[in-house]
Amino acid sequence: MKVLVVGGGGREHALCWKLKRSPSVSEVVCAPGNAGIKRDARCVAVGAEDIDGQVRLARAEQPELIVVGPEVPLVLGLADRLRAFGFSVFGPDQAAAELEGSKSFSKVLMAEAGVPTARFEVHTDANLAEHTIREWGAPIVIKASGLAAGKGVIVADDVEDAVLVARDMLAGNSFGKAGSQVVVEECLVGEEASCLFIVSGDMILPLASSQDHKRLLNGDGGPNTGGMGAYSPAPCVTPDVADMVLEQIARPTIAALKARGIEFVGTLYAGVMLTADGPKALEFNVRFGDPECQPLMSRLKSDLGRVLLAAARKELDGATLEWEDQTALCVVIASDGYPGSFEKGQIIGGLDAVEEAGAAVFHAGTREEDGHIVNIGGRVLGVNALGATVAEAQKTVYAALEHLDWPGGFYRKDIGYRAIAREKSLN
Ligand code: AMP
Ligand code: GLY
C-alpha cells in the first residue's frame, strides 16, 4: 500500500524509515519531509500545518493510509478533514487532540476519570494564580495550557519566580495565546518515563517503554526542551509499572473521552512520573514522542504499516507487537542557541562517517542546499544505535558522533545516565 506521512521532523523520519521497511508498504510519501527523509520517502513540499494543502495532497495522492506525525495539525483538525473524505487516518480527531492541545482539558479529564496525577488548579486571573502559588509554596509547577512545543512548563524552586512566570504567561508575554490559561501544579518527585499506546476505539495496544531527557543540559539541568535524547526500553518501567500505567492511566482516560462522546484513534503518549505512591500522569500527548519514536522504531520488528492501518480502520483486535531485545538509544544534536534563537543554514558534515561507525542518523531540522545538508531547525539530528545494554548503545552513539563535523551543533554527553546507573547497580 501507499502511505502518506504528514510532518518533517525526527519522529517522521523514524516513521518513514520503518514504513519503508514494512512488507505491507510499497510506497511512502512524506509532506514536507526533510533532507534525510528523502532517502526513505518521496517528499512533497506541503507544510505540516497547511491543512488545506495536506487535504489537497491526500486527494491527489490517494494513499491507503495517512499517518499524521505532529500535534499541531491534529489540534487544527487535519484528521477530521481527511476522514471526511474517507481516508484511513492514524491520528486523533480535533476533539481527542485536546488531550494535548489543552493541558487544562487534560487535567480536568484526568480528575474526572480518577487518573492519578498532580494536584492542580486552572487559572486565567493572575491574582488568583498568585494566591494559589503563595498558599502551596515552592517547588511548584506552572504550565501554559496551550501548545508550546514542549517549552511551556516551568518547574519553579522559588515562589517569587513562579509568580512572575504565571503573570508573564497570563499577560500573553511568554507563550502568546497558549498562556492565556495556566495550570498551577503540585511538584511531583520521581523518575519520568514515556508510556505510549496505539489506540483504536476501545482497543489499546501498549508500545515498548521509553524514556527521554527533556532538559537541555547534562545532568538534567537547564530549561525544558522538546527532548534531547531517548532510549528504549526504560529499565524503570517494570512489567508491573507498565500494567499500572495501562490500567490506571491509559484505559480510564480513553473511557472518559468516550463518555464525552469522543473516540480516540492514534498514539496516546502518557508522560508519567514514577513516584513513591505509584505512577502519576504528568501529561498526555496525542502522537509519537520525539525523540522517543526513533529508538522505538529501531527496535520494532513488526510491520508498522499493517498495525497503523489496522488501528486506523478499527481492526486492531488481536494485534501484537514484536520488539528487538536490544536497547536503542538516540542522542539529539541541536543548533547552538536552542531552545532560543540560532543561526540557520550552517553546513553539517561527517554524516556518512557517523553511519559507517554503526549509528543511524534520523534527520529533524535539516534541508539540502547546493548539495550540502544544512540546519533549519532547533533539533536537527537524532543519532541512534542498538546495543546489548543501555551503556553499549550509548558508547556506540558517542563514538560515532566523534565523526560529526558541525561546530555550530551541540548535544548532551550523558543520555541514558540514569538507566546506566541502574544497570550498574544490578551487576
Ligand atoms: P509536561 O509537558 O506537562 O510533561 O511537562 C514537561 C516536563 O516538566 C515534564 O516532562 C516534567 O519533567 C516536568 N513536569 C511537568 N509537570 C510536573 C510536575 N507536576 N512535577 C514535576 N515535574 C513536572
Ligand atoms: N519527547 C517529548 C515529546 O515528544 O513530547
Pick the CATH number of 327-426 from 3.30.499.10, 3.30.750.210, 3.90.600.10, 3.30.590.10: 3.90.600.10
Which one of 285, 287, 330, 362 would you pick to mutate in the ligand 2 pocket, going by the greatest count of ligand atoms within 8 A of its CB? Answer: 285
Q: Is the pLDDT of residue 52 over 70?
A: yes
DSSP assignment letter at 114: T
Q: What is the Cα–Cα distance from 135 to 261, expressed in whole angstroms?
A: 37
Question: With a 6 A CB cut-off, is 181 part of the ligand 2 pocket?
Answer: no
H or E element: which one contains 280? strand 278-285
Q: Is the pLDDT of residue 180 over 90?
A: no
Question: With a 6 A CB cut-off, is 214 part of the ligand 1 pocket?
Answer: yes
Over residues 185-206, the pLDDT tens digits come to: 999 999 999 999 999 999 999 9
Q: Is the pLDDT of residue 238 over 70?
A: yes
Question: With a 6 A CB cut-off, is 213 part of the ligand 1 pocket?
Answer: no
Question: With a 6 A CB cut-off, is 118 part of the ligand 1 pocket?
Answer: yes
Q: Is the pLDDT of residue 324 over 90?
A: yes
Sign of CA dihedral 237, 312, 92, 44: positive
Fold of 125-180: Dna Ligase; domain 1 (3.30.1490)
Q: Give distance in angstroms: CA of 271 to centre of ligand 2.
A: 8
Question: With a 6 A CB cut-off, is 224 part of the ligand 1 pocket?
Answer: yes
Q: Is the pLDDT of residue 72 over 70?
A: yes
Q: Is the pLDDT of residue 332 over 90?
A: yes
Q: Give distance in angstroms: CA of 139 to centre of ligand 1.
A: 12
Cell of 10: 525526527
DSSP 195-230: EEEEEETTEEEEPPPBEE--EEETTTEEEE-S-SEE
Closest CA to 295 of 373, 216, 223, 394: 394
Exposure string (b/e) for 1-13, b if CB count within 10 Å is 16 or more?
bbbbbbbbbbbbb
Over residues 384-393, the pLDDT tens digits come to: 999 999 999 9
Domain boundaries, the chain: 2-93, 125-180, 189-312, 327-426
Q: What is the Cα–Cα distance from 392 to 13, expressed in whole angstroms?
A: 24
| pLDDT band, residue 150 (cuts 50/70/90) | low
Over residues 333-390, the pLDDT tens digits come to: 999 999 999 999 999 999 999 999 999 999 999 999 999 999 999 999 999 999 999 9
Which one of 102, 106, 122, 155 would you pick to mutate in the ligand 1 pocket, going by the greatest count of ligand atoms within 8 A of its CB? Answer: 155
| Phi, psi (degrees; rounded to nearest 5) at 257 | -65, -45
Question: With a 6 A CB cut-off, is 285 part of the ligand 2 pocket?
Answer: yes
Q: What is the mean pLDDT of residues 12-34?
A: 98
Task: Tell me the one-letter amino acid at 333.
Answer: I
Question: With a 6 A CB cut-off, is 294 part of the ligand 2 pocket?
Answer: no
Pick the CATH number of 189-312 from 3.40.50.2300, 3.30.470.20, 3.40.50.300, 3.40.50.410: 3.30.470.20
Pick the CATH number of 2-93 from 3.40.1380.10, 3.40.1360.10, 3.60.15.10, 3.40.50.20: 3.40.50.20
Which one of 268, 269, 293 would you pick to mutate in the ligand 2 pocket, going by the greatest count of ligand atoms within 8 A of its CB? Answer: 269
Q: What is the Cα–Cα distance from 393 to 410, expressed in whole angstroms?
A: 19
Mean pLDDT of all residues in the chain?
96
